[in-house]
Each structure stands twice: as structure tokens, then as C-alpha cells.
Amino acid sequence: MGESETPRVTIHEVARRAGVSHQTVSRYFRHNEGLKPETRRKIDLVVQELNYRPNLVARSMRTRRTNRLAIALPASTYLWPVRLLQAASITAHAEGFQLEVVSMEGDARARAERILELAGSGQVEGILSLTPLEIGPGASPVPIVVTGDYDDNLRSVNELADASPVREIIEYLASLGHRVFFHIAGKQSFASARNRKLLYEETIKHHGLTSYGIALGDWSPQSGYDAVRGLPEGSGVTAIVAANDHVAMGAVRGALSRGWRVPGDVSVFGWDDEELGRFATPSLSTVAVDREVQGREAMAKLIAEVRGEPVPQSPSRSINRVIVRETVGPPPGGLPDQD
């Protein structure tokens, strides 16, 4: 061993400094709840002082347990579901697991082959996939949970593509007196964008309201800005339903650049509850999407399957919530007459 090399700290050294047995330290790293608080505190201090990490490879050879899980995503440069991943990671760590995020290339069948390779490698005890996989029951040696809420390109489907808040938004704006609406849609290759566009059209028709039209945007602030700048004078539009917060903020800027007051002349709704929208002037009305609860529930399900415990049932609820802020108010004519 060279003079510059530092000997690896062992579990026995941790045990000696903490004044406990090495079996007790081993139980500590297995997150055994039977340890006394004082014993756990002593080991905590030594582990932090020595920056000790257990040898997971050696442990897995002895116990066939790695305490490692994986989240699999399709290879994509467009977006990553950061909030979902953070919530899943926190849930895994709280239960004593380490988490790896792996990117899988190819179509569903190709990804399934790579997932099965990972499952059979002995490196992880379970896999959470954010996209559909072509894997038959019993094909994997470890549990695999598929959320099914993203497609091959990380575009939202199923629960994340729920468009029902569009109806609530339009009905709320109509209750304030708005009668002429304008929708700036997202990319129509996304199920979420198509669903919102369809429900916008259905709700406008159902309530006998007027839609000036639909601008097909691309989720960018520029598309919102351009759509509003392109509205002709006298369009009568007083309410804008945007595909997401980025589009909505572009729409607000486009309205202000034309000398329109927001919300005095036109009201704007976004979607996603981006933090920047909360601090904008005016603050942005939007739809909050609880991706954190989705990440927690998916990871809790995987951990339960890994441990052979009953899988927790997700409550019946929507992960979307409409939030009214400063970009929404009555149209220029004021509130409708109340009977």
C-alpha cells in the first residue's frame, strides 16, 4: 500500500469507536428499529466522523440484498419529471434504499430487454418504470412497477393527462362574466395537450359560450406571446386558457405589450403551478399538479412488493387543483347581474 493511500474503514472500526458489537452496527445499516436511541446516536456520530459507508457489494454476496432500487426512463433530451423523481428518491431513502436513475433507449420491447438484464444482474432489488414495458408476468426475478403515466417520449398520459380542470377553469371564468374565450394549446403530439383542447371545445359548446379560436402552440412562452399579439383588434376575447404556465406568461406579456390590462381587460390561466408564476406580477392563476404524491405512491408500491408486503391502495382523487391568483378577474363589463 502506498503512503498516500488511506486504509478502508471497516465495520469493526465503527463498532470499536461506538462501543458496540459489529453485529449491532450491521443491524444499524439494515435500519433495524430495535436499536435503542442512545445506541443509534453513538453509531450516528461515528459514521459521520469517519464518513463510513457499508460495503454493499460484499453484503449482497452474503445476503443477496443490495438495498438498491432503480427508476427507468426512456432516453429523452426534452424533459425529466424532476419533482416526481425527487419524491420517489426521498421515499426510497427514508425506507433505507439507495436509488439509481437509468435511461433506456429504444422502443418498449428493446427497453424491456434491458430492464430484464438489469433485473437479473443482482444489482437492484426492484425497478420502477415510468413507461410501459412488454414484460410478461413472472419474467423478472425482481419486482417491476410500471406507472404508465408517460409514453416513450416522456409525454404525459393517463392520470397526468387528465384535462378535467379545464372545465372548472372555464366555468369559473364564465361565472365572473367572461363570454369570449381563446385557447393557446400545447403540442398536439402530447395526450395532455389534445385532451385539454378537446375539453375546452366541449365545455365552451356545452355552456353556450364563444371561442374566438385555438392557437396551436409548442409549450413555449414565445408561442403564448405570438398568439396574443396575433389577435385582431375587436376580437372580443376577455379570457385566455393557456396550455401551461410558460405559455400563459408569454400570453400575459403579449397582452401587456398591447396596452391591455391583466386582468382588467383580459384574464389568463396557466397550468403546472411553476414557482416563477407565483412570484410574477401579476401572479399567475394556474393548475397545481401533485407530481410529488405520484412519485411517493409509485415508490411505496415498489418497496411493498420488494418486501413482500401488501401493496398500499392509492386513494381515489385527482392530482390536479385549480388555483386562482391575480391574472384572473371580471371582464371589462364587470360581474354578471345576480338574480
Sign (positive or negative) of CA dihedral 320, 322, 327, 333: positive
Domain contains 79: yes
Q: What CATH number should be reported for the domain holding residue 77?
A: 3.40.50.2300
**Does residue 102 fall inside a structural domain?**
yes
Are residue 163 and residue 283 in the same domain, yes or no? yes
Starting at the edge strand found earlier in the chain, the sheet holding 68-74 runs 98-104, 68-74, 126-129, 144-146
Shared domain check, 136 and 30:
no
Do 202 and 229 belong together in one domain?
Answer: yes
* Domain end position, chosen among 246, 266, 289: 289
Q: Are residues 165 and 101 in the same domain?
A: no
Domain count within the chain: 3
Task: Provide the sign of the torsion angle of the four alpha carbons 212, 216, 220, 222, taken in this order.
Answer: negative
Rounded to two decimals, what is the model's pTM?
Answer: 0.61
Report yes or no on 320 lying in a domain: no
On whether both 169 and 257 belong to a single domain, the answer is yes
Residue 135 lies in a domain: yes
183 vs 1: CA distance, rounded Å? 69
Domain co-membership, 50 together with 70: no
Beta carbons within 10 angstroms of residue 144's beta carbon: 22
247 and 271 housed in the same domain: yes
Q: Specify whether the CB–CB gap between 92 and 128 falls below 8 A.
A: no
Q: Phi first, then psi: what are they for 330, rounded to 5°?
A: -65, 155
The set of residues, in sequence order, having a beta carbon less than 8 Å from that of 8 and lying 6+ positions away, is none
Query: Which of 246, 263, 289 is the last residue in one of the domains?
Result: 289
pLDDT digits (tens, 9 = 90+) for 177-218: 999 999 999 988 777 788 889 999 999 999 999 999 999 999
Q: DSSP letter for 27, please.
A: H
Q: Which portions of the chain are predicted below pLDDT 70?
A: 1-8, 29-34, 53-64, 75-80, 132, 148-162, 314-318, 334-339
